[in-house]
Amino acid sequence: MLTTNKALLAKADKGKYAVGAFNVNNLEFIKAVIKAAELEQSPVIVQTTEGAVKYAGIEYLVALAKTAAKLTKIPMSLHLDHGRDLKVIKAAIDAGYTSVMIDASHVPFEENIKMTKQVVAWAHKKGVSVEAELGTIGGSEDLVSAKQIILTDVATAVKFVKATKCDALAVAIGTSHGAYKFSGASKLDLKRLDELKKALKMPLVLHGASGIPKNIVDMAKQYGAQLGDPHGVSDEDVKAAVKLGINKVNIDSDLRLAFDAGLRKELAMEPKEFDPRKILQPAADLITEVVRAKMQLLGSSGKA
Ligand SMILES: [Zn+2]
C-alpha cells in the first residue's frame, strides 16, 4: 500500500518509534527490503538518491516501487533522498514519488528557505511530503558530500520550519554519511536532539546512521573486499536517538555492504555458477537480514 512519509512519520511520532528509510537502486534491493518489511510487519520507506535516479531511470524506479506497493499490504512510501537539483525533485513529484527531500543545507540560510518553500509549494499541491535539512551531515554519499559537520541550531531550526512548512526535518547531531564515519566510537549530540524535538514537535530524521555491522564487513573482506577499517553508529546511539524523537532513520551503506559481501561470497563459493539469478539471491537475502535487524532496532516491527 503506497502512502506518504507524512502519514508514516505521524504514526511513528505518536508511537515513539522510527521508520527505516532504505536506499534502493534496482529490483533486487526493492524486493529484499519489502520482504523484510513483510516478515517484520513493519512500515517501510523505500528511497532513492539522485544517483539512483541517474543509474536506473526515474520511470523504472517508480514502476518498481508502485508494483511493490500494489503487491503488499505493508504501508510504504517512495521517497527521494537528498534532492539537490530542483529539476529532479519536480520530476520525482510528477512521476509519482510520495515524498521528496530538498537538501539545500549547503547554501546560505535564506536561500535554503527559498528553495525549500518552492519544493513545498510543488509537493503539497499533489499531497507529497517534504523533508528538508538544516545544518550539515558530514561524510559523503552518492553525489552529496560535506567536509565539515555543522550541527543544527535550535532557534534557527524553529525559524526555518515556520518559514518553509516542511513536514520533516533532517537534523545534524554528529552523524556522518558513508562507511568511514569515525575513527573510533561515534559521538552524537543527544542533548541537542532533545532540545530540537521539544522546540519543533515534528518528525525528525537521522541521516548517516548506518551501523556498518562488523560481521558483514568481515565477510566482505574474507572474500576479497578491501574496506580498511570502517565504523558506524552504534545500536545504542540509534536507540537513544529514537527515544528522543527521531522518527526516520536512513540506511544506505549497510545495504551496500550486505550486497557486496553476499555477492563476493557467492562468486567465491560457486565459481561454476553463472546464472545471475542464482548469483544475486544470496546478496538479496543478506540485505533482507540487515533490514530486518534495523526494523527491530528502530521499533517499527509489528507496527504495519
Ligand atoms: Zn543523507
The secondary structure of the chain as a DSSP string is -B--HHHHHHHHHHHT--EEEEE--SHHHHHHHHHHHHHHT--EEEEEEHHHHHHH-HHHHHHHHHHHHHH--S-EEEEEEEE--HHHHHHHHHHT-SEEEE--TTS-HHHHHHHHHHHHHHHHHTT-EEEEEESB-EEEETTEEESS-BPPPHHHHHHHHHHH--SEEEE-SS-EESSB--SSS----HHHHHHHHHHH-S-EEE-S-----HHHHHHHHHTT----S-B---HHHHHHHHHTTEEEEEE-HHHHHHHHHHHHHHHHH-TT---HHHHHHHHHHHHHHHHHHHHHHHT-TT--
Residue 303 lies in a domain: no
Q: How far is the CA of 275 from the centre of ligand 1 (A)?
A: 34
pLDDT at 138: 74
Per residue in 235-285, pLDDT (tens digit) is 999 999 999 999 999 999 999 999 999 999 999 999 999 999 999 999 999
Q: Is the pLDDT of residue 146 over 80?
A: no
The mean of the pLDDT values for the chain is 94
Q: 164 CA distance to ligand 1 centroid (A)?
A: 20
304 within domain boundaries: no
| Residues within 5 A (CB) of ion ligand 1 | 207
pLDDT band at residue 107 under the 50/70/90 scheme: very high
CA of 122 to the centre of ligand 1 (A): 22
Domain that holds residue 78: 5-298
Q: What is the mean pLDDT of residues 287-302?
A: 98
Regarding predicted confidence, which is higher, 188 or 65? 65
pLDDT at 137: 79
Which residues are catalytically annotated? 81
CATH code of the domain containing 17: 3.20.20.70
Q: What is the pLDDT of residues 4-51, one digit of tens each?
A: 999 999 999 999 999 999 999 999 999 999 999 999 999 999 999 999
How confident is the model at residue 9, as a pLDDT? 98
Indicate whether 18 belongs to any domain: yes
CA of residue 139 to ligand 1 center, whole Å:
9
Report pTM.
Answer: 0.95
Predicted confidence at residue 183, as pLDDT, reads 61
The predicted pLDDT at position 238 comes to 96
Q: What is the pLDDT at residue 242?
A: 98
Q: Is residue 153 part of a domain?
A: yes
pLDDT of residue 147: 62
pLDDT for the residue numbered 176: 85
Cα–ligand 1 centroid distance for 99 (angstroms): 15
Q: Given this model, what pLDDT does residue 28 score?
A: 97
- Lookup result for grid cell 527491530: 296
If one counts the domains in the chain, the total is 1
Contact 51, 142 (CB under 8 A): yes
239 domain-assigned: yes
